[in-house]
């Protein structure tokens, strides 16, 4: 291979930098979207609603009650609603010429987000070696970070892909801010998680 000229080297470096920045932006955006969906499920979703109620909200509440139960469902069991949604969006945007590689990447990440979430619920022994390395390198979210959601009042750490977005959105109070706007404009209050409400009631009764 002939040596790169300096102009070609700069162009290659610029291409690589742009690719890294685009990929990072897509990962962080997908992470934020997982947080938005999870937050909405936790505080507004009702299992009695038609279609989405049993499809999305009931499994989410079950996950709070029995956090490791969804490991039994495997990849398809944990991800199928998001996969179908992602395929429909990809097909729709492709039909009108709007499907870019960035959108395809975000949809792929969203379609598989619950697999990263499953990994965060595995024991050290159960975690595949490469996944454990990615968790330790903080490329994806690990069990301690995600445990912050399950162990606390379930009102923080909604994002499920990386350990990078949660600290920022929790610190700026994004979710509480949206809840305040919703309550002021519609009167609808966010629901406190049933497990948390039980836990706090038990503590009060002691
Ligand atoms: Zn939750
Ligand atoms: Zn979880």
Which ligand number lies closest to the CA of residue 63?
Answer: 2
Ligand located closest to 147 CA: 2
Helices (H) and strands (E) in the chain, counts: 11, 0
pLDDT of residue 1: 64
Nearest bound ligand to the CA of residue 154: 1
**pLDDT tens, position by position, 10-38:** 999 999 999 999 999 999 999 999 999 99
Q: Give the mean model confidence (pLDDT) for residues 156-169.
A: 98
What value of ipTM does the predicted structure carry? 0.98
Does residue 151 surpass a pLDDT of 80? yes
158 C-alpha vs ligand 1 centroid, how far in Å? 6
**CA 60 / ligand 2 centre spacing (Å):** 9
Residues 6+ apart with CB under 8 A from 53: 45, 46, 47
User: Could you tell me the distance, in angstroms and rounded to a whole number, from the CA of residue 139 to the centre of ligand 2?
Assistant: 18
Looking at the predicted structure, is the pLDDT value of residue 140 above 90?
yes
Mean of the per-residue pLDDT values of the chain:
93
Q: Residue 196 Cα, ligand 2 centroid: separation in angstroms?
A: 14
For residue 196, what pLDDT is reported?
A: 75
């Amino acid at each position: 291979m002939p040596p790169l000229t300096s102009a070609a080297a700069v162009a290659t470096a610029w291409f690589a930098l742009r690719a890294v920045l685009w990929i990072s932006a897509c990962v962080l955006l997908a992470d934020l979207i997982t947080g938005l969906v999870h937050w909405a499920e936790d505080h507004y979703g009702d299992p009695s609603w038609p279609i989405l109620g049993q499809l999305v909200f009931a499994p989410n509440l079950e996950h709070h009650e029995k956090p490791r139960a969804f490991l039994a469902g495997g990849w398809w069991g944990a991800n199928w609603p998001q996969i179908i949604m992602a395929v429909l969006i990809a097909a729709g945007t492709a039909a009108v010429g709007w499907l870019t590689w960035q959108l395809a990447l975000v949809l792929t990440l969203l379609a598989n987000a619950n697999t990263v979430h499953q990994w965060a619920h595995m024991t050290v022994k159960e975690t595949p070696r490469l996944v454990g390395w990615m968790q330790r390198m903080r490329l994806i979210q690990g069990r301690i970070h995600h445990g912050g959601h399950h162990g606390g009042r379930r009102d923080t750490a909604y994002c499920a892909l990386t350990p990078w977005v949660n600290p920022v959105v929790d610190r700026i109070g994004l979710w509480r801010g949206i809840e305040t706007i919703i309550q002021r404009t519609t009167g609808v209050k966010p629901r406190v998680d049933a497990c948390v409400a039980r836990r706090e009631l038990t503590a009060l009764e002691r």
